[in-house]
Structure 1
Amino acid sequence: MTSSSTPGLTRFNAVADGAARAVLREICASRTWASALLARRPYSDTAALCAAGDAAVAALTAADLAEAMAGHPPIGRPAPGDPASAREQRGMAGAPAALKARMLAHNLAYQEKFGHVFLICATGLTAEQLYDAIRNRIDNTPEREREIVRTELGKINRIRLTRLAEGPPEAIATPAPDDGGAPP
């Protein structure tokens, strides 16, 4: 451990595998991704954690990527009770009803074409930027879109990993004794 370690990262490195896995699965729903990050603990700093996250995203199979995407709600409809989802999709929150309706229609068309939610790192983007992105990406081939999704997933995971590492250590809960560390 180097002196550049943060309290959140120190706690993440120290908790039992079950608790660490649970936190990682909140960041990214892919079991493969979470296992890859668990296997490399402890991390010396946030950069090392994010680099491991990037490598794990790059190694995801199509099935792993689908599992990761299944953990993301559609743009414009953040997961109820999920502060990360609401924070990341803040740009859609105050959008006019007409724009929200167009976004919903495009979300449905996108999902029909590609078989998964429209995934974009929405942090800091306005409703108009999100709408422009889905309109531009809907004409992609499935292969092209899969690689864009992989890139966007990597961006989302980096933001979330940084928040984990640099956040308060008490944000990482200890699981119940019967957890056993097994993936859900």
Structure 2
Amino acid sequence: MSPSSSPPGLGRFNALERHAADAALREACASAEWGRRLLAGRPYATTDDLLLASDAAMAELSTEDLQEAVSGHPPIGRPKPGDPASAREQRGMAGASDELRAEMLELNLAYQDRFGHVFLICATGLTGEQMRDAVKERIGNPPEREREIVRAELGKINRIRLTRLVDEGDEGDEGEEGEGGTSA
């Protein structure tokens, strides 16, 4: 289904009671401000409208709101226990060697020391090696530049999660690529 169409799941999302819609949005992004902005825009006519609202909300998040959003993501290689979405998002690390897992842990700790939060990347279709290379490349960024990269990565993750939210139940989830949103 194209993002410009209106899947039945979008109608269900638009019709949810505010607290239920807020909970659904918190599953997509931990930022309360991002969720408030999306709730204020309901009802959405199309998935594209919802995604554009997400992009606009993400662009306007303060540094504190951005930090809140990042706090909802576990490190890459350590998905949230019992959370199938987290496991799906981290699929690229599923077959990683012990050596690569150890290297990712070391890199994430160095990244956290430098930036104060986990390394975050939209990992859809990325291998463990590609994620490792990304953290190696980004660890040298100035904090301002890295903050904007994180904002862009969160935006990508939110788009994937929102699309899944409004498509949920309309088509099966089988065979989907993982999306990351998680860190090394």
Normalised by the length of structure 1, the TM-score is: 0.89
Structure 2's unaligned 5+ residue stretches are 171-184
Give the distance between the partners of 2:159 and 2:143, measured in 1 at CA: 24
Report the AA paired with residue 102 of structure 1: E
Q: Which residue of 2 aligns with 1:56?
A: 57
Shift in Å at residue 27 of structure 1?
0.3
Stretches of 4+ moved more than 3 A in 1? none
Q: Which residue of 2 aligns with 1:87?
A: 88
Give the distance between the partners of 2:118 and 2:5, measured in 1 at CA: 37
Give the distance between the partners of 1:19 and 1:159, measured in 2 at CA: 20
Larger mean Cα displacement after TM superposition, 51-60 or 79-88: 79-88
Q: Are the aligned partners of 1:87 and 1:123 in contact in 2 as well (CA < 8 Å)?
A: no
Q: Which residue of 1 aligns with 2:148?
A: 147
Q: Which residue of 1 aligns with 2:38?
A: 37
Q: Which residue of 1 aligns with 2:179?
A: none
- Sequence identity of aligned pairs in percent? 68
Matched residue pairs, number? 167
Q: Which residue of 1 aligns with 2:177?
A: none
Superposition RMSD in Å: 1.1
Give the distance between the partners of 2:85 and 2:141, measured in 1 at CA: 28
Give the distance between the partners of 1:136 and 1:16, measured in 2 at CA: 43
Shift in Å at residue 93 of structure 1?
0.9
Give the distance between the partners of 2:16 and 2:100, measured in 1 at CA: 44
Structure 1's unaligned 5+ residue stretches are 170-184
Give the distance between the partners of 2:28 and 2:82, measured in 1 at CA: 15
Give the distance between the partners of 2:83 and 2:57, measured in 1 at CA: 24
Which structure has the larger Rg?
1
